[in-house]
């Protein structure tokens, strides 16, 4: 047997072992990061003699933390979904995947901190802007990483170029959505996180422009 074949092991068209390890490791980081979000949902410190009204008020005071948890939970979930979608197209290992993937995982791992910051000081400019800026960083890393996964030499040989372009457009939509949220910070910081709902709207716009032939290279 030729020893050269052992340098880049393949399993009859399935991802190489090194590629599998990268995906498994990535899934673990996503899972840990999304779980750490719940740490900021602390039980209110009330005496056992507290009234029902006091308990309700204490829970109401946690509303920003619940909002931050839910928003970041689904944001991280969306990034994980995009990672899964892109790497479902990957078939070949390349060392060029390491840095983009590590940057993405680093940015995702930081999400619990920025979620705690914006939740503790909800409606304040600096915490809201910091959260949106960090999300912008995550979005850039996400696009960089996913573009590597759907491009040669990593992508499957028979990958539909149109599907690869779709994944890239989705990445651009996330970047535009985070920039929209950042812009809303300076209009009204309370609207920063709700503005993240613009991501699917940007995706629809990019798809529309693509169908019209305006976006030929994205």
pLDDT for res 99 = 97
Count of CB atoms situated within 10 Å of the CB of 195: 21
Tokens in use for 195? 């503005």
Burial 165-185 (b: 16+ CB within 10 A, else e): bbbbbbbbbbbbbbbbbbebb
pLDDT for res 14 = 45
pLDDT for res 53 = 94
Q: 3-state DSSP call for residue 145? A: helix
DSSP string, 86-125: HHTSB-S--GGGHHHHHHHHHHHHTHHHHHHHHHHTTT-H
pLDDT for res 142 = 98
Please check whether residue 149 is in contact with residue 94, taking contact to mean a CB–CB distance below 8 angstroms. Answer: no
- Could you tell me if residue 166 is inside a domain? yes
d(CA 19, CA 93): 5
How would you class 15 by CB atoms within 10 Å of its CB: exposed for 0-12, middle for 13-18, buried for 19 or more? Answer: buried
Measured in residues, the chain has a length of 218
Contacts 24+ apart (CB under 8 A), 195-200: 196/71, 196/75, 196/135, 199/78, 199/173, 199/174, 200/173
d(CA 97, CA 79): 17
Nearest partner of 107 among 167, 196, 168, 175, judged by Cα: 175
- Could you tell me if residue 3 is inside a domain? no
The domain total for the chain is: 1
Residues of the chain with pLDDT under 70: 1-16, 215-218
- Could you tell me if residue 54 is inside a domain? yes
- What tens digit of pLDDT does each residue of 131-175 get? 999 999 999 999 999 999 999 999 999 999 999 999 999 999 999
pLDDT for res 17 = 84
- Could you tell me if residue 164 is inside a domain? yes
- Could you tell me if residue 152 is inside a domain? yes
pLDDT for res 60 = 94
Range of the domain at 100: 15-37+49-211
d(CA 31, CA 80): 9
- Could you tell me if residue 110 is inside a domain? yes
pLDDT for res 11 = 39
- Could you tell me if residue 44 is inside a domain? no
Count of CB atoms situated within 10 Å of the CB of 24: 9
- Could you tell me if residue 42 is inside a domain? no
């Amino acid at each position: 047997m030729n020893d050269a074949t052992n340098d880049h092991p393949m399993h009859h068209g399935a991802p190489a072992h090194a590629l599998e390890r990268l995906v498994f490791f990535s899934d673990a980081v996503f899972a840990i990061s999304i779980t750490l979000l719940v740490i900021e949902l602390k039980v209110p410190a009330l005496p056992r003699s507290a009234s029902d009204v006091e308990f309700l008020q204490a829970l109401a005071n946690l509303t920003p933390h619940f909002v931050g948890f839910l928003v970041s939970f689904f944001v991280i979930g969306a990034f994980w979904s995009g990672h899964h979608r892109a790497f479902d197209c990957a078939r070949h290992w390349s060392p060029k995947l390491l840095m983009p993937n590590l940057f993405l995982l680093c940015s995702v791992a930081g999400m619990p901190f920025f979620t705690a910051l914006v939740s503790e000081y909800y409606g304040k400019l600096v915490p809201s802007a910091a959260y949106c800026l960090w999300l912008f960083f995550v979005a850039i890393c996400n696009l960089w990483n996913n573009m590597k996964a759907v491009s040669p030499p990593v992508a499957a040989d028979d990958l539909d170029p149109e599907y690869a372009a779709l994944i890239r457009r989705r990445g651009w939509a996330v970047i535009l959505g985070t920039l929209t949220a950042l812009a809303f910070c300076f209009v009204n910081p309370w609207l920063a996180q709700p503005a993240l709902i613009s991501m699917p709207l940007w995706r629809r716009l990019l798809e529309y422009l693509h169908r019209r032939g305006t976006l030929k290279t994205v």
